[in-house]
Amino acid sequence: MNWLSQTLASSLGKKLIMALTGLFLILFLTGHLIGNLQLLKDDGGQAFNEYAKFMTTTPIVKILSYLTYISIILHVIYSLILTINNLKSRPIKYAVNRQSENSVWTSRNMGILGTLILIFLVIHLRSFWYEMHFGSIPTIAYEGGGQIKNLYLIVVEAFSHLWYVILYVVSMVALAFHLTHGFQSAFQTLGLRHLKYTPLIKIAGLLFAILVPALFALQPVYLYLKNL
């Protein structure tokens, strides 16, 4: 094995991949959220549709979106590899184990939270990403632009179902808990720990973990109530 693949195959190398892909996905979430906030505009979906067109046709965004796909896939695969190996590292469990005395629940259950997020992601991508890329979406014409896909219509339709809104809200709670551990954990894995900056990272991580999923969850709730 050459030195690079040996590094990435080591325990710390796998953690490095988890941390880097996780941080990239945090950046992605930020961008995705900014786009989604267009849904709150009261313009019949114009800003949102233009954003959706921008996201699917601009070359630089294309590159970023491929990086996002790769990050998601690597994050999932490496978490599976690590989890399986970690389970094997303790073949006989304790009869009594008071883990809650020494660690927080979220930090021990990133796999469960991640699985919930992954299930959500599949449903979410099927509903919107797949429709946008491969589905037949009605188009709409705006002043100064040609015909563009009216994804807004699909979104509004989807969020008129209560169960779908609930699914989104619950998934965002899972995402929030995943982020409370993941955000600061990524910095620790990269070795970025400092008396001055770590407290800031922890606060930023907590704010991010609360605000971003809350704002994501706001969209379906808002659209549902608006179109009641």
Which residues of the chain form contacts with other proteins (CB under 8 A)? 1-3, 6-7, 10-16, 82, 85-86, 88-99, 101-104, 107-108, 110, 181, 185, 188-193
CA distance 7 to 27: 25
Q: Supply the DSSP symbol for 135.
A: S
CA distance 29 to 8: 25
What tokens does 166 get? Answer: 């609930």
CA distance 7 to 92: 29
Distances, alpha carbon 110 to alpha carbons 69, 80, 103, 182, in Å: 20, 11, 13, 8
Contact 187, 201 (CB under 8 A): yes
**Residue 86 or 227 with smaller CB distance to other proteins:** 86
Q: Which amino acid is at 78?
A: Y
CB of 7 to other proteins, least distance (A): 5
**Residue 8 or 55 with smaller CB distance to other proteins:** 8
What tokens does 129 get? Answer: 């990403």
**Residue 9 or 211 with smaller CB distance to other proteins:** 9
CB of 29 to other proteins, least distance (A): 20
**Residue 101 or 143 with smaller CB distance to other proteins:** 101
CA distance 154 to 127: 8
CB of 40 to other proteins, least distance (A): 35
**Residue 15 or 124 with smaller CB distance to other proteins:** 15
